[in-house]
């Protein structure tokens, strides 16, 4: 048997209670993430896609152990992150890093670049000043900055450079897993491609794995080996990137991916326009949660029975839809 996967998520569920009614005595339950399972192998990239409110962010927060799951578990390299000992947790905190969307909010304006980038090492390892400087220089060079820029404050940098600083501080402890939450969407178009290439180069150089949350589908296609599509807290389809784009199987995936507008003017793009908005997760529709907007409803079964995630031709590619299940 080989190594355990870098990340394994099993039946992960998070419910939130929100007060409701007079004086907030009643309670509603929001199923933000509902029974989600997947695994990520070393050196691979998984993209999480879905509309706002589908549970991507809640899921990511549980992967980082910033939120405790209601049930289910998250394993990193075979260890359940919610039952870790203190020393294991310390290792987890350096081994799993994150880069967030907004480089204006994610860097402390009062710290110099050196202190921001070095922080993970200062907290967790006892390194000499010389060694620390060497590691910071190394990280800055890896992300395309100059070592002497370590003495500046974040406000002296542009958005793209700030995102590079955030990446340097994420990679300095040589983590095996990096969570990227909309890592380029706050950046200008011409800067995005620089940063996306950087993520790819880093992955090739150090072999880290990524979980990337992105609403831009072009970004997803470029970055990801596999794509997981979420809808109202549930995983509706997961599979290899090319299969997902070329032959999406779940009607929601079909609509979502067709909403990406390609850069061509020759033949008109046939997009599937969905009706209505995403329903409220407080009161999700019966049966398949997607049925009120679905363009391929096959009958009453969609309204009454919730489809289970099942394997398609390969165990790699799974989806939850009644379509084709009768065969």
Partner 1 sequence: MGASVLQVKNLRTVLDLSSGSVPVVDDVSFDVGAGETLGIVGESGSGKSMTALSIMQVLPQPIGRIESGEILLEQTNLVGMSDEEIAKVRGREIGMILQDPHTSLNPVFTVGNQVIEALQINNPGTPRRSLMTRVVDLLKKVNVADAARRVHAYPHQMSGGMKQRVVGAIAIAGAPKVIIADEPTTALDVTIQLQYLQLLREIQDETGTAILFITHDLGIVANLCHKLVVMYGGKIVESGTVSDVFRAPSHPYTEALLNSVPSVDQKVDRLYAIEGQPPALSADRKGCSFAPRCPYAQEICKRDVPQQEAGLSGADNHFASCWNMGRKT
Q: Is residue 219 within the footprint of partner 1 (CB under 8 A)?
A: yes
Within 140-159, which residues bind partner 1 (CB under 8 A)? 158
Within 258-297, which residues bind partner 1 (CB under 8 A)? 259-265, 268-269, 271, 273-274, 276-278
Return the bridge partners of 319, or none.
237, 310
Count of Cβ atoms closer than 10 Å to residue 186 Cβ: 19
CB of 266 to partner 1, least distance (A): 8
Candidates 147-155, 219-227, 301-309, 317-325: pick the segment binding partner 1 (CB under 8 A). 219-227
Stretch 101-140: interaction string toward partner 1, x if CB under 8 A: ----------------------------------------
CB of 71 to partner 1, least distance (A): 28
Q: Is residue 255 within the footprint of partner 1 (CB under 8 A)?
A: yes
The residues, any chain, with a CB within 8 Å of residue 188's CB and separated by 6 or more, are: 159, 160
Residue of the chain from 29, 108, 124, 197 that contacts partner 1 (CB under 8 A): 197
Answer whether 211's CB lies under 8 Å from 48's CB.
Answer: yes
Residue of the chain from 65, 79, 221, 317 that contacts partner 1 (CB under 8 A): 221
Of 326, 258, 325, 319, give the one whose Cα is nearest residue 290.
Answer: 319
Residue closer to partner 1 by CB (options 1, 189) is 189
Return the bridge partners of 47, or none.
212, 227
CA distance 160 to 181: 15
The number of residues making up the chain comes to 327
Residue of the chain from 27, 80, 205, 242 that contacts partner 1 (CB under 8 A): 242
- Label residue 226 left, alpha or beta by phi (over 0 means left) and psi (-120 to 50 means alpha): beta
Return the bridge partners of 97, or none.
178
Of 112, 104, 102, 108, give the one whose Cα is nearest residue 136.
Answer: 112
CB of 273 to partner 1, least distance (A): 5
Q: Which tokens sit at 256?
A: 């979502």
Of 14, 15, 17, 13, give the one whose Cα is nearest residue 26.
Answer: 17
Residue closer to partner 1 by CB (options 108, 158) is 158
Residue closer to partner 1 by CB (options 209, 219) is 219
Task: Give the count of residues interacting with partner 1 (CB under 8 A).
Answer: 43
Tell me how far CA of residue 269 lies from CA of 217, 245, 253, 259, in angstroms.
Answer: 15, 15, 17, 10
CB of 201 to partner 1, least distance (A): 9
SS percent in the chain: helix, strand, coil, step 5: 35, 20, 40
Within 164-193, which residues bind partner 1 (CB under 8 A)? 188-193
CB of 196 to partner 1, least distance (A): 6
Binding site for partner 1 (CB under 8 A): 51-52, 158, 160-161, 188-194, 196-197, 200, 215-219, 221-222, 241-242, 245, 255-257, 259-265, 268-269, 271, 273-274, 276-278
């Amino acid at each position: 048997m080989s190594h355990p996967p870098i990340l394994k998520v099993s039946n992960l569920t998070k419910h939130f209670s929100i007060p409701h009614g007079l004086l907030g005595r009643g309670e509603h339950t929001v199923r933000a993430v509902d029974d989600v399972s997947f695994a990520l192998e070393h050196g691979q990239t998984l993209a999480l896609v879905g509309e706002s409110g589908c549970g991507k962010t809640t899921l990511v927060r549980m992967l980082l152990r910033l939120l405790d799951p209601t049930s289910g578990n998250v394993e990193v390299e075979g260890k359940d992150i919610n039952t870790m000992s203190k020393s294991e947790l310390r290792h987890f905190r350096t081994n799993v890093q994150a880069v967030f969307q907004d480089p204006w909010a994610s860097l402390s304006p009062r710290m110099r670049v050196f202190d921001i980038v070095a922080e993970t090492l200062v907290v967790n390892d006892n390194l000499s000043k010389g060694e620390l400087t060497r590691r910071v220089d190394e990280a800055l060079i890896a992300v395309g900055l100059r070592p002497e820029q370590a003495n500046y404050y974040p406000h002296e940098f542009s958005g793209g450079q700030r995102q590079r600083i955030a990446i340097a501080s994420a990679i300095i402890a040589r983590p095996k897993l990096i969570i990227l939450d909309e890592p380029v969407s706050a950046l200008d178009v011409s800067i995005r491609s620089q940063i996306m290439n950087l993520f790819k180069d880093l992955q090739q150089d150090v072999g880290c794995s990524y979980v990337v949350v992105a609403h831009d589908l072009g970004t997803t296609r470029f970055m990801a080996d596999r794509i997981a599509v979420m809808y109202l807290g549930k995983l509706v389809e997961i599979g290899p990137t090319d299969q997902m784009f070329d032959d999406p199987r779940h009607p929601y995936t079909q609509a979502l991916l067709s909403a990406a507008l390609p850069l061509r003017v020759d033949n008109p793009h046939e997009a599937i326009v969905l009706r209505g908005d995403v329903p409220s997760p407080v009161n999700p529709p019966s049966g398949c949660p997607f049925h009120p907007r679905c363009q391929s409803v096959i009958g009453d079964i969609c309204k009454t029975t919730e489809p289970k995630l099942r394997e398609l031709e390969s165990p790699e590619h799974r989806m939850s839809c009644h379509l084709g299940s009768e065969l």
